[in-house]
Amino acid sequence: MKLITILASGTGTNAENIIKYFSNEKNAKVRLVLSNKPQAEVLKRAAALGVEALFFDRGQFYDSGEVRRILQERGTDLLVLAGFLWFIPEHIIKAYRGRIINIHPALLPRFGGKGMYGDRVHRAVLDAGCTESGITIHHVNEQYDAGDIIFQAKCPVLPGDDVHSLASRVHTLEYEHYPVVIKNLLEEMDDQ
Ligand code: GRF
């Protein structure tokens, strides 16, 4: 059984979608959800679905090694970022190199980097007059949004779109593709 840990800072609709998807799978499941925000809705969503959900603070993530210890203790084959806003410390990247992925709500390499998250991304896409946007699923390395791209899917930007309507179209793509990409990656690990 392959074990997934999700890191998320916010609402957690992707986390919920991934948990539900893998609850029907035999070979993988979401073992743990971790958040750097004690009140994050993602923790409630995960707990309601019977998944262990824990808060951690800056010191536990960057300094003491406590988060890494928990990941190792619970077992983690793949670390999945789903709306997680902190930089991943080098010691975790080293321990899980090639096994940490993120989803970005636009077509990287445009509209990525530090400070580009949530509605700011969609605002920038609209301001640039793009006729399409989409999602990028990529490996996580030492730089924001700069790891190797694993998968992209596109959607149109329609006349009259605002941040809300574009975000909702992009979210639909995320729900459709993120679990499947995770599943494929886990299967590839099996073959190695
Ligand atoms: C998603 O749009 C994802 O691409 C980005 O953060 C958002 C998280 O949304 N990284 P939710 O918390 O899963 O609803």
134 lines ligand 1 (CB under 6 A): no
Across the range 173-186, mean pLDDT stands at 98
Question: Could you give the C-alpha distances from 47 to 53, 104, 110, in angstroms and in order?
Answer: 6, 25, 35
Does 106 have pLDDT greater than 80?
yes
Q: pLDDT value at position 192?
A: 65
Torsion from C-alpha of 165, 146, 127, 156, nearest 10 degrees: -40
| CA dist., res. 174 & res. 33, Å (int) | 18
Q: Quick one: tokens of 74?
A: 């619970």
Nearest Cα residue to 30 out of 45, 43, 15:
15
Q: Which atom of ligand 1 is nearest to the CA of 9?
A: 12
- In the residue annotation, 122 being an active-site residue is answered as no
pTM confidence score: 0.96
pLDDT tens per residue, range 21-80: 999 999 999 999 999 999 999 999 999 999 999 999 999 999 999 999 999 999 999 999
pLDDT of 189 reads: 87
Q: Which two tokens stand for residue 63?
A: 């300094």
With tokens 């992209």, the residue in question is 152
Going from the Cα of 91 to the center of ligand 1, the distance in angstroms, rounded, reads: 25
SS3 content of the chain, % helix, strand, coil (to 5): 40, 20, 35
Q: Does any ligand 1 atom lie closer than 6 A to the CB of residue 169?
A: no
What tokens appear for 144 in the block? 């924001």
